[in-house]
Amino acid sequence: MIATLPPAESWLERFPLLVRDWITGHLPESLGWLAVSLLAIVVILAAFGLLFAYLTLAERKILGRIQNRPGPNRTGWFGLLQPFADGIKAVTKEDVVPREADAVLHFLAPVLLVAMSLLGLAVIPFGRHLLAANLEAGVLYFFAAGAATELAVFMAGWASHNKYSLLAAMRALAQLISYELPLLLSVVPVVMLAGSLSTTHIVDAQGGWTFGWIPHWHVLTPWGFAGFVMFMIAALAESNRSPFDLPEAESELIAGHLTEYSGFKYALFFMAEYFGMCGLSAMAVTLFLGGWQAPCAFLEFIPSYVWFTAKLLTLLLGFIWIRATLPRLRMDQLTRLAWKFLVPLTLLNLANAAFWSLSAGWSGPMHWVRWAIALTVVVGPFLLLGRALTAGVAPRTYRYA
């Protein structure tokens, strides 16, 4: 697909490549491949490290504004140095390890968690030319790495030898088992239609525009929209974000698996949460929002990585917005939502995607029939299952004495 590049590609689009070539140009030929890989790792670490730092600040600021308060604004100009102050604080704080804790696992859990949440970023195409590892089974690799993060949460909970941590570990496992399935099932239609597990192919499959301004992103199809929403719900659960932050559950389990962590290890957990959130959002962008593709043909002059970043930040903003609004679900409700709502819907969505693929040739009035059928398959089960899910739960009216 690289062959279909527009011929007049701007230097901005090629800018990261030019920088890479300039740096590797100084090195001997034999080390070039190593330098290229290392450079990718360094860039990802630096970029996402910085994104993490400022995402924490942005989250606190936005949460603050939503709650009608200013948020951190004392460290540096508009509080811009706050992440670094927090970092210094986390590093210099005492690292407390409970006497009864399993010291090795207690140490390994945050390390593993950060490592696993970073691994997924390798297969995300951040721009037309920006991809660390072009794996044939990139999507599979991403979710394999992602699943390991929940194990690390379990590890942390178990190793802390604390009752709250133990409860959090139990919750983390239940959540892992419940939400891996809808997460993967919501991705399967994309893989099916693109016919590939490679992230580059999936992005390329969403290229092009109808009339030059309607992009062919998956999210703009009925099955793609449903898949995107369900993917994001599962991603919220997968990254332990509100309203699915049950393992951490501040008001119930103090800090859940983080209860016995302090100092830099705590910061690592925090970092991993944001990396995981970024990774899943990036995957959602890749799978459903057209990856680095511009929304309209005439906007293509803006470099692809800018488009990717914009879409990524929009999704992250959505994460923050949801966190600011919703209370937490209970464990049984969480698993019920997964098994009785998301899993059936994702399975139906799979069939819907198959129908969409088979009916690709319909034209003329049949085109509208195709849309009607696909939309019905999305909306109908949603309403029915939604009603079943919320049975017995409704606003009430009250009488007066």
Partner 1 sequence: MQDLSPGGAHVRAVHDEFHGDLLEVSMGPHHPSTHGVFRMVVTLDGERIVKLKPVFGYLHRNHEKLGEGTSYLGSMPYTDRLDYLCSMTNNWAYAVAVEKLAGLTVPERAEYVRVILAELTRLLNHTCLAGFLMQDCGCSGTPLMYAFREREKILDLFESLSGSRMMCNYQRFGGCRVDPPADWLARAQTLVDGYTAFLDEFEALLTGNEIVMARTQGVGCMSAALAVSAGVTGPALRATGVAHDLRKVDGYGVYPRFNFRVPLGAHGDVYDRYMIRVLEMRESVGILQQALAGLPGGPIMNPAAKLRGFRPKAGEAYGRIEGPKGEIGFYLISDGSPNPWRYRVRPPSFINLTILEDMCLGHTVADAVIILGSVDIVLGEVDR
Partner 2 sequence: MLGSGILQGLAVTAKNFLGSYHDPARYTTVEYPEVKQQLPEAFRNFPFLVTENATDPMGTLRCVACQICEKECPPQCIFIEKSKDKKPDANGKLQIYPVVFAIDTSVCMSCQICVEVCPFDAIKMDQVYEIATTDRFDALLLNREQLAKPNEYFHQIHPTEAAEVDARLAADRKAAEEKAKAAAAAKAALPAKPAPAPVAKPAVVPPPTAPQSPGPAA
Interaction residues for partner 2, span 87-106 (CB under 8 A): none
Binding mask 53-82 for partner 2 (x = CB under 8 A): ---------x--xxxxxx--x---------
Closest CB 86 distance from partner 2, rounded Å: 21
Question: Within a 10 A sphere around the Cβ of 219, how many other Cβ atoms?
Answer: 20
- In the list partner 1, partner 2, none, the entry touching 401 (Cβ below 5 to 8 angstroms by class) is partner 1
Segments in 26-75 forming alpha helices (H): 32-66
Site for partner 1 contains 387 (CB under 8 A): no
Owner of token pair 């659960």: 237
Interaction residues for partner 1, span 182-241 (CB under 8 A): none
- In the DSSP assignment, the letter for residue 340 is I
Return the bridge partners of 214, or none. 210
Q: Between residues 253 and 353, which has the closer beta carbon with respect to partner 1?
A: 253
Sign of the torsion formed by the C-alpha atoms of 47, 38, 12 and 201: negative
Site for partner 1 contains 74 (CB under 8 A): no
Consecutive H or E run containing 165:
helix 163-194
Closest CB 119 distance from partner 2, rounded Å: 32
Applying CB under 8 A, among 15, 54, 264, 382 the residue interacting with partner 2 is 382
Specify burial of residue 236 (Cβ count, 10 A radius: 0-12, 13-18, 19+): buried
Q: Cα dihedral angle (153, 331, 226, 60), rounded to 10 degrees?
A: -60
Return the bridge partners of 210, or none. 214
Applying CB under 8 A, among 28, 361, 365, 392 the residue interacting with partner 1 is 392
Name the token pair of 112. 């593993």
Binding mask 304-343 for partner 2 (x = CB under 8 A): -----------------xx-xxx-----------------
Three-state SS annotation for 184-226: HHHHHHHHHHHCCCCHHHHHHHCCCEECCCEECCHHHCHHHHH
Q: Between residues 133 and 322, which has the closer beta carbon with respect to partner 2?
A: 322
Q: Between residues 287 and 331, which has the closer beta carbon with respect to partner 1?
A: 331
Per the CB < 8 A criterion, the answer to whether 390 and 346 are in contact is no
Specify burial of residue 276 (Cβ count, 10 A radius: 0-12, 13-18, 19+): buried
Closest CB 175 distance from partner 2, rounded Å: 20
Site for partner 1 contains 5 (CB under 8 A): no
Phi, psi of 336, deg, nearest 5: -65, -40
Site for partner 1 contains 324 (CB under 8 A): yes
Distance CA 288, CA 187 (A): 9
Applying CB under 8 A, among 17, 329, 347, 373 the residue interacting with partner 1 is 329
Closest CB 71 distance from partner 1, rounded Å: 11
User: Which range, of 211-219, 249-257, 270-278, 387-395, touches partner 2 by CB under 8 A?
Assistant: 387-395
Site for partner 1 contains 330 (CB under 8 A): yes
Closest CB 318 distance from partner 2, rounded Å: 9
Question: Within a 10 A sphere around the Cβ of 57, how many other Cβ atoms?
Answer: 21
Residues in contact with partner 1 by CB under 8 A are 63, 66-69, 98-100, 161-164, 166-167, 170-171, 242-243, 245-246, 249-254, 323-333, 390, 392-396, 398-401
